[in-house]
């Protein structure tokens, strides 16, 4: 028997150039960890961060990218000074223009799109328009502009591979010829798993007393603060539902959310013959990252093997959309279509930040979102300008609701 190797394939034309958007976040750090394990295959061309200058300096010194970008101009200036002081040759850019530039560089083959929130939309679109392999960890890009984004990917012959563990699991459970639609490959439905977050068994009274520190303490995954709160409200699963509809060209009625607290089965696909295929693994984002970077081949990610004897049991239950109305709101927004998902996302970003700033209670997050959806009318999402206008209006309405002390 031939012994497996960590790097089972070679790149005939030299290392694959990678841009990591959101390098200082948890997904970005995991991506760089995978890249560091395969220096003969990948090289870092560009990195971006927001305001974590010290961390970005460390990453630049380790990976020596050609470019580094801070969305914040003051942070970019501090980064440039620090890199120059230590003799780094990395060129520093700033703002949305800098992000779009590093997402579309000719020497870049793959772009990890891991900027959190609506800010990640435009650089991800720039990567798609440049025909790159887009490793999509920013679900908001599809939530806000699903049809536009998918059309740009197709128009420019880009590749779109999902990084969220659930969507990556679904992708792994589908046949390679699924581009013609789920019906054509005999899929009955998609089972989208959810951990349920840290409060899946909490009463409504307990939820009303949740603090930001409690909401950010996810039982299974190491994530940033915003996505941790989304997981706790189950809005993260709602956004993933919308993303899955666009990625796999299906309707929300064909996606069943399944609460699975162990986070071992990352999602499942049910076929019309009764077969159900599942992708299992330890809860570590390096697995879907390595899968998407190497696809259609495989390479080591640094993640250990799954010990089924240690896990011993797998539990499943239906989501409670009364205690966790954010999931219901996401289903409704996707059914409504148009800019409703963008309005949902914008209101959620405002509400979550207000909660993290201790200006809003945990249970008021879905109240702000629902009232914003009732206030801002949805429009056809045919142009980015329309989407961004409704995004702006939704943020204003949500901020007003927070200021009024909605509960």
Please report, for the domain that includes residue 153, its CATH number: 3.40.50.720
User: 130, 162, 194: which is the final residue of a domain?
Assistant: 162
| 48 located within any domain | yes
pLDDT tens readout for residues 255-311:
999 999 999 999 999 999 999 999 999 999 999 999 999 999 999 999 999 999 999
| 149 located within any domain | yes
pLDDT for the residue 356 = 96
User: Rounded mean pLDDT of the chain?
Assistant: 93
Domain of residue 140 covers: 16-162
User: 96, 131, 162: which is the final residue of a domain?
Assistant: 162
| 221 located within any domain | no
Q: Which residue has the higher pLDDT, 407 or 149?
A: 149
| 128 located within any domain | yes
Number of domains in the chain: 2
The mean pLDDT value for 311-322 works out to 94
The mean pLDDT value for 177-186 works out to 84
The mean pLDDT value for 207-236 works out to 86
pLDDT for the residue 407 = 76
Reported as a pLDDT band with limits 50, 70 and 90, residue 1 is very low
pLDDT for the residue 139 = 86
User: 145, 162, 179: which is the final residue of a domain?
Assistant: 162
3-state SS of the chain is: CCCCCCCCCCCCCCCEEEEEECCCCHHHHHHHHHHHCCCCCEEEEEEEECCCHHHHHHHHHHHCCCEEEECCHHHHHHHHHHHHHCCCCCEEEEHHHHHHHHHCCCCCCEEEECCCCHHHHHHHHHHHHCCCEEEECCCHHHHHHHHHHHHHHHHCCCEEEECCHHHHHHHHHCCCCHHHCCHHHCEEEEEEEECCCCCCCCCHHHHCCCCHHHHCCCCCCCCCHHHHHHHHHCHHHHHHHHHHHHHCCCCHHHEEEEECCCCCEEEEEEECCCCEEEEECCCCCHHHHHHHHHCCCCCCCCCCCCCHHHHCCCCCECCCCCCCHHHHHHHHHHHHCCCHHHHHHHHHHHHHHHHHCCCCCHHHHHHHHHHHHHHCCCCCCCCHHHHHHHHHHHHHHHHHHHHCCCC
Q: Is the dihedral of CA 55, 57, 60, 66 positive or negative?
A: positive
pLDDT tens readout for residues 95-134:
999 999 999 999 999 999 999 888 899 999 999 999 999 9
CATH number at residue 393: 1.10.1740.10
| 127 located within any domain | yes
| 2 located within any domain | no
User: Could you tell me what percent of the chain has a pLDDT over 90?
Assistant: 86
| 180 located within any domain | no
State how far the Cα of 110 lies from the Cα of 241, in Å rounded to an integer.
25
Measured in degrees and rounded to the nearest 5, phi and psi for residue 385 equal -60, -40
Reported as a pLDDT band with limits 50, 70 and 90, residue 6 is low
pLDDT tens readout for residues 324-382:
999 999 999 999 999 999 999 999 999 999 999 999 999 999 999 999 999 999 999 99
CA distance readout (Å), 217 to 181, 191, 228, 237: 38, 25, 7, 17
| 308 located within any domain | no
38-42, 133-137, 244-248, 403-407: which range is least confident on average? Answer: 403-407
The mean pLDDT value for 235-250 works out to 96
Structure tokens at 333: 């927004």
Other CB atoms within 10 Å distance of the CB of residue 305: 7
């Amino acid at each position: 028997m031939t012994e497996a190797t960590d790097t089972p394939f070679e790149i005939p034309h030299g290392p694959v150039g990678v841009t990591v958007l959101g390098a200082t976040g948890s997904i970005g750090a995991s991506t760089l960890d995978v890249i560091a394990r395969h220096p003969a295959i990948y090289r870092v061309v560009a990195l971006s961060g927001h305001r974590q200058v010290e961390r970005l300096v460390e990453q630049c010194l380790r990976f020596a990218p050609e470019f580094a970008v801070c969305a914040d101009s003051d942070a970019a200036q501090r980064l440039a000074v620090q890199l120059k002081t230590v003799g780094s040759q990395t060129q520093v850019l700033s703002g949305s223009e800098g992000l779009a530039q590093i997402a579309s560089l000719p020497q870049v083959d793959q772009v990890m799109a891991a900027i959190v929130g609506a800010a990640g939309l435009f650089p991800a679109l720039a990567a798609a328009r440049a025909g790159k392999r887009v490793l999509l960890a920013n679900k908001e890009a599809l939530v806000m502009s699903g049809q536009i984004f998918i059309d740009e990917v197709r128009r420019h012959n880009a590749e779109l591979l999902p990084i969220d563990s659930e969507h990556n699991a679904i992708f792994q459970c589908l046949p390679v010829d699924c581009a013609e639609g789920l019906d054509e490959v005999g899929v009955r439905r998609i089972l989208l798993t959810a951990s349920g977050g840290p409060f899946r068994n909490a009463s409504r009274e307990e939820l009303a007393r949740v603090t930001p520190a409690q909401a950010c303490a996810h039982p299974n995954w190491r994530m940033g603060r915003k996505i941790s709160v989304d997981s706790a409200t189950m809005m993260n699963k709602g956004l993933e539902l919308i993303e899955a509809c666009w990625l796999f060209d299906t309707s929300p009625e064909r996606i069943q959310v399944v609460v699975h607290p162990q986070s071992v089965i990352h999602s499942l696909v049910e076929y019309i013959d009764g077969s159900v295929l599942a992708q299992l693994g330890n809860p570590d984002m390096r697995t879907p990252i390595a899968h998407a970077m190497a696809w259609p081949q495989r390479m080591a990610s640094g993640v250990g093997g799954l010990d089924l004897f240690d896990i011993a049991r797998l539990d499943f239950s239906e989501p409670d959309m009364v205690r966790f109305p954010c999931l219901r709101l996401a289903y409704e927004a996707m059914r409504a279509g148009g800019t409703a998902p963008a309005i949902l996302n914008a209101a959620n970003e405002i509400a979550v930040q207000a909660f993290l700033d201790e200006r809003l209670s945990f249970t008021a997050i879905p109240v702000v979102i629902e009232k914003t959806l009732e206030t801002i009318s949805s429009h056809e999402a045919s142009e980015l300008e329309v989407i961004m206008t409704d995004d702006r209006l939704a943020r204003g309405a949500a901020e007003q609701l927070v200021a009024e002390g909605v509960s």
